[in-house]
Amino acid sequence: MSSNKTVLAIKYRPQVFDELVGQNIIVQAIKKSILLNKTPNAFLFTGIRGVGKTTIARILAKSLNCLKPEKNGCSNEQCANCEQIANSRHIDVLEMDAASKTGVDDVRDLIEFSRYGPTSSKYKIFIIDEVHMLSKQAFNALLKTLEEPPEYLKFIFATTEVNKIPITVLSRCQRFDLMRIGFDDLLIFLKNIISLEKKNLDEDILKLIVKISEGSVRDSLSLLDRIFLSENDENNKLDLKSAQKIFGYFDKSYFLELFSELLQGNEKRVLELYKNIYDQGIEPKLFIDNFLEIIYYLKNYKHIKGSNSSLDFTDADLKKIDQLSQKIDTKTLLLFWEFSLDIMGELNLLSNQHLAVEMFLIRLMYLKKDSSNEIIFNKNLNESTETNKPVSTKKDFKNEANNDLLSNKTINQIKFSSQEQQKISFDEQKLQNKTKINSFSDLISECISKREIELKYELENNVNLISFKNNNIEISFNENLDKNFIKNLTSKLLDWTGERWIILLSKKPGSKTMREIKSQDKNRILQDLKESETYKKAINLFPDIEVINVKNSDEQDND
């Protein structure tokens, strides 16, 4: 490892394969390919930040050009090539940052430079970091050289976003996926660093660093640097809470306490705990994320309690999780999970998301378990009600509704008083009004009997009937139809029949309007009259006579 460096991430950067953390399988594969002299034309290393992509690329370059390969890549005493490559000043190893040199001209210069063989080593090596940043034209310019490069030329690519690299480039590289560093491996690595630095840190702080770094060696060393800089007195050791404040990290034990108080229905304490969490800078969406994580651990603790090192909890927290998981059943946890997912969508509708989370917690607080294993509302929520009926989950709502309909019962849900009055009014109307309307002509007749002249006019003049059956009316209409016609018609049909009707608007032409049909009938009757013998005799007697309408003697004029 390098020396005389102040930043830990640089000071303890691995210099040989044996110093790499947590990438044993990849290291073995690369070592074997070098030993057998079967190295590919291009290597591609991909993975998250800080797992060693650039580091392993440099170690590979040193291994390929090492003057003493039999000594395991100069692990003790570096040769001239390894030392120059480590200091980024070897003439045959060019390291390029694709984020700053993305154009095709940069790649053309690279290809032109590759025509000349190495000067002092076996291979000429190009290390391109963040290779996914190259432009499409730059990738295309590389294709031919990647496929058939000179024997002395090697490419080493590193990237965090392998999905942005064209498949034509990927197929020409030997790909190695660097995994996140395991919890135990990274913890052992940090303990070694603490020993080398002659520091004394609590193991809980190291575990916290490993958790926050999320498998990144560089991130863990940067966090460790911050801890070292925060130590003012060697005799006063930092405790876990102080480290959490330094990192701005939130203690999950608050969530366990909040969850425990929530199950007990302690509203005041729940809101106090949430406000403390909120004051520490936890955004509402992050709060719900962590709340969902607690639900997950409570539901699956029996299956994951053996892997304590991967959990973000102390031993005391794990005991509390175990106790809570035994007190609350799966059905309640799944209902909490569903409510939590719902609130994630509701947060986007409010400018003050903090209030939405408070109301979300209150909603959960007033759910408790009864002996029938149904989720019911707490009596404190609605003391004016005599009984509290079960509140169904979303999954069971449809089945319960069907059962209630079969048993001629209504679902007892929380409603406004106006909604209850509207429901009672509707039930009374349904029993009292039994008018049957079986056809379009019946509907017009009902309009006449109820003196709904405007509705009758719209039906006869502006509506083209398509179908009329089973409380469904399908119509088309012309541009003269009143804009409130549908609303008025459905309301009147409900009043007259006590049943709900569906009015469908269609683009089909439909039949002619009643006015058009009546007009056609009158024209036909009038034409038949003009062709009759009676009309011909009348014309002979009265040449100026003109017939304009024909009407039965018993017909009433409703027009």
- What CATH number should be reported for the domain holding residue 341? 1.20.272.10
Q: Is residue 543 part of a domain?
A: yes
- Integer-rounded Cα Rg, in Å, for the chain is 41
40's CB contacts (< 8 A; 6+ apart) are 33, 173, 174
Secondary structure percentages of the chain, helix, strand, coil, to 5 = 55, 10, 35
Q: Are residues 122 and 74 in the same domain?
A: yes
Q: Are residues 241 and 261 in the same domain?
A: no
Domain boundary among 346, 365, 384: 365
pLDDT digits (tens, 9 = 90+) for 8-36: 888 888 888 888 988 889 999 998 998 88
- What CATH number should be reported for the domain holding residue 447? 3.30.300
Q: Please state the domain count of the chain.
A: 5
pLDDT at residue 3 tops 60: no
Exposure b/e, 55-72, CB count within 10 A at least 16 = b: bbbbbbbbbbbbeebeee
Q: Are residues 294 and 327 in the same domain?
A: yes
pLDDT at 170: 92
Q: Which residue's entry shows tokens 């002659």?
A: 198
- Our CA angle for 13, 4, 52, nearest 5°, is 10
Q: Is residue 427 part of a domain?
A: no
Q: Are residues 216 and 163 in the same domain?
A: no
Beta strands 367-369 and 472-477, pairing class: unpaired
Q: Is residue 412 part of a domain?
A: no
Q: Are residues 169 and 200 in the same domain?
A: no
What residue type is 17 in one-letter code?
F
Q: Are residues 114 and 192 in the same domain?
A: no
CB 186 within 8 A of CB 200: no
pLDDT digits (tens, 9 = 90+) for 36-91: 889 998 999 999 999 999 999 999 998 888 887 665 556 667 788 888 888 888 88
pLDDT at 371: 33
pLDDT at 53: 92
pLDDT at residue 166 tops 50: yes
pLDDT (average), residues 527-546: 77
Q: Is the pTM of this model over 0.95?
A: no
Residue 475 forms beta bridges with which residues? Answer: 465, 505
Q: Are residues 12 and 109 in the same domain?
A: yes
Mean pLDDT for the chain overall: 78
Domain that holds residue 548: 515-559
Q: Is residue 150 part of a domain?
A: yes
CB 177 within 8 A of CB 212: no
Domain boundary among 177, 204, 230: 177
Domain boundary among 307, 330, 365: 365
More confident residue, 310 or 21: 21
Which of 135, 49, 129, 144 has the alpha carbon at shortest distance from 96? 129
Q: Are residues 156 and 42 in the same domain?
A: yes
pLDDT digits (tens, 9 = 90+) for 417-471: 444 455 545 555 444 546 788 888 888 888 888 888 888 888 888 888 888 887 8
Q: Is residue 123 part of a domain?
A: yes
pLDDT digits (tens, 9 = 90+) for 485-502: 888 888 888 888 888 888
Q: Is residue 50 part of a domain?
A: yes
pLDDT band at 307 (very low <50, low <70, confident <90, very high): low
Q: Are residues 135 and 233 in the same domain?
A: no
- What CATH number should be reported for the domain holding residue 16? 3.40.50.300
Beta strands 472-477 and 124-129, pairing class: unpaired
Count CB-CB contacts under 10 A for residue 483: 6
pLDDT at 335: 87
Q: Are residues 326 and 448 in the same domain?
A: no
d(Cα 506, Cα 485) in Å, to the nearest integer?
15
Q: Is residue 407 part of a domain?
A: no
Beta strands 472-477 and 463-469, pairing class: antiparallel
- What CATH number should be reported for the domain holding residue 190? 1.10.8.60
d(Cα 109, Cα 397) in Å, to the nearest integer?
68
Under DSSP, is residue 521 helix (H, G, I), strand (E, B) or coil?
helix
Q: Are residues 167 and 38 in the same domain?
A: yes
pLDDT (average), residues 179-192: 90
Q: Is residue 292 part of a domain?
A: yes
Q: Are residues 168 and 191 in the same domain?
A: no
